[in-house]
Amino acid sequence: MSYQPDELQEILSIYKAETEEHLQNLNDGLMRLEKAPGRTETLEEIFREAHSLKGAARMIGFEAVEKIAHGLEDLFGQARKGELDFQRQVFDVIFAALDAISKLTAGWLENPGAPSPPVDDLLERLRAARTPGHGVPAAAVPPPAAPAPRPAASTPACAPPPVPAASTASTAVDQPERGSADNPVAAPEAGVRQIEETIRVTTQKLDDLMNQIGEILVTRIKFDERLAEIRVIERQIEQFQLAWTAVRRRLGRGGDGWAVREVGDRVARLQEDIRHLATGFNEDTLRMSLVSGELQDSINRVRMLPLSALFNLFPRLLRDIARQEGKEVELLIEGGQAQLDKKIIEELKDPLTHLLRNALDHGIEKPEERQRAGKRPAGHLKLSAVQKASSVVIDIEDDGAGIDLDRVRALALRRGFASDAELREMTDQQTLGLVFRPGFSTKGMITDLSGRGVGLDVVLTNIERMKGTITVTSHPGKGSIFSIRLPITLATTQALLVKVSGQTFAIPLASVAVISEVGLEQVTSVESREAVLIEGVPTALVRLHEILRLPEQAAHLEAGDKAPVVVLGSTEERVAFLVDELLGEHEIVVKGLGAPLRRVRNVSGATIAGDGAVVLILNVFDLIKASQKVRGLWLADKRRAEAGRRGTARVLVVDDSVTTRLLEKGILENNGYEVTLAVDGVDALEKLANGSFDLVVSDVEMPRMNGFEFTRRVRREEAHREMPVILVTSLSSEEDKKTGVEAGADAYIVKGAFDQGNLIATIRQLL
């Protein structure tokens, strides 16, 4: 059957969504099965998922996925019959198959109808997993565990030792397929969840509807403005009626009583008409508010997804990372029922992945290290969410090593992020905030997993884009908590309107901690900076017009005067902003700035006021960061400034391959670096002795002296002890990376994952 292009696109979109759903269900089921082998209801569940995955691929003509899914179905079918038990290597093969399906689907959808890529090696691995003796004997399989309700929590992500079945979570079992080979006359069972009829709607269609609702909301706001104007006219007529009554009494004594009464009656009728109009207009406005509010809530509910749709992706991810790093970790998930706008959930995936990777790589120690510190071998990682009014707070908490503030201060000083005097003035919370600076990393060496120094600043940028905030608290030796606060939806929000220098601005209410008034007598000086007591705590005081670079219009405070302040931020980091006037709380429709104004400092978007005026929505994080600059807590990157004054940075490239040397030389020179070449470690040491360099990029496997020994020799020289060394090599094992760390390398880049952007970003971080 042939399809029109738009029909084909719709079918492929449905297939993609269906495949992702089957893959997620398979991952979830396998994670449960890995913790509690032999659970028959889980085996039935994953068998059906593989069968459905195979059928969908067959219908769409995607042969490669059909073959892999068929191989999985055969394997699960064998396990259902008790002829195969799952062991660690079997799970590894299955997870590899699921990853292959995901990658193949993504590639095939870009070019539908293209020949299926060969998957013979993977199919052979699946067949080998079904051979007798690959798993433990069938008799050793524990008896099936009773189905357990899904708790609000526990999902251990990876722990090589078996986890008792009692600690596992399970999901409701779907209805068995009718007419399948193993269940030819299956009928719906009592209590089994029935499948709801659904249709798939693109997010863009929902966005279009929400934009229209936004226009209705703006119109509703204008109605409120018009009603207020009618009320003003009504009060004016009331005042006129009172004045006319007094005039009528005076004129009635000797004037034309009939004329006086006629005018009075007309004013009374006009007053009654205005009152009737105001009442009717008020009822119409209330009805419009009710209907538009219900319509807005309905569309919002359609757009909402539970966070579990995102959270369920991470147990598998952390399992694989923990296996790779030789660590044990138990993942606890809570609050997955909290809901967010689908667009926010899609944008949230990368930041949460960064944070969870960092928690496992930087925070959670290896089992032997934890035992020496008196901890359980398996680390504890908690991902939780809680809904608070119009926002959701997501916490990523680990019980690992925590963030060493002394190392943060030392690295900040070395990189020129702050001076020694400024670091002494910073609170611990302000010092922790330095980890969000671009290029900041406390990890001993940069590798392909994390520690590249580009993680947390990217997280911050993404959270900002979603109109959210992120904070971190840490206790050395006990762990860290990264806390993200996000609005439930980006379409509308509650905002506080303020006036500054004659202009109106909107501040998201979720970021407003306190609204107050301060007098001159309440302003104090803390460490030579203005501060004010807010709820008994000294809080930095900053004038908002200075941050926005607007002229000052409000009169200076004098004794006895009061001025409004808006306190923004979290409990750990608050700033009091002095404004000219508070205009009250309003629900606003959030509009993006659009091209070319994608990113404007201190501004996150705009809205339309009831009078049609454009009101800018302020970016709270930018305001707080800018206030820190005003208060002198941040410096420009002095190290780079010094490098700029000194001239072009000099890089020594060491590699025995002439092709690699010339390739790296071209990349570096195109990015403005001065490059010297060396053919091996001995040659490089001679060039270091006779020249001056800012950084070294070296291969590992070289004649005469390899890169590990060369790095050790560099570190022994006092003149080169602090010079950054980057190892670029094809050696990718964890043992090789460990050797590089012990030798003193600052970064380790595997050639298989090499790209010039990665190399340049690493060099810029280290310089």
Class in CATH terms, 648-766: alpha beta
Q: pLDDT category, 294, cuts 50, 70, 90?
A: confident
Indicate if the pLDDT at residue 439 is higher than 70: no
- DSSP state, residue 617: E
Higher local confidence (pLDDT), 257 or 90: 90
Q: What pLDDT sits at residue 396?
A: 95
Q: What pLDDT sits at residue 367?
A: 92
Q: pLDDT category, 195, cuts 50, 70, 90?
A: very low
Distance between CA atoms of 708 and 699, rounded to whole angstroms? Answer: 9
> Which H or E run includes 564?
strand 562-569
Architecture of domain 307-487: 2-Layer Sandwich (3.30)
Report pTM. 0.56
**Three-state DSSP class for residue 569:** strand
Helices (H) then strands (E): counts for the chain: 23, 23
Q: Matching CATH topology for 492-630 and 648-766?
A: no
Class in CATH terms, 5-144: mainly alpha
Indicate if the pLDDT at residue 242 is higher than 70: yes
Q: What pLDDT sits at residue 441?
A: 62
**CA separation, residue 247 to residues 236, 250, 251, 270 (Å):** 16, 5, 6, 18
Q: pLDDT category, 449, cuts 50, 70, 90?
A: very low
Architecture of domain 492-630: Beta Barrel (2.40)
Distance between CA atoms of 78 and 134, rounded to whole angstroms? Answer: 13
Distance between CA atoms of 223 and 233, rounded to whole angstroms? Answer: 15
**Residue whose pair of structure tokens reads 């433990």 in the numeric block:** 136
Q: pLDDT category, 161, cuts 50, 70, 90?
A: very low
Question: How do the domains of the chain map onto residue ranges?
Answer: 5-144, 204-303, 307-487, 492-630, 648-766
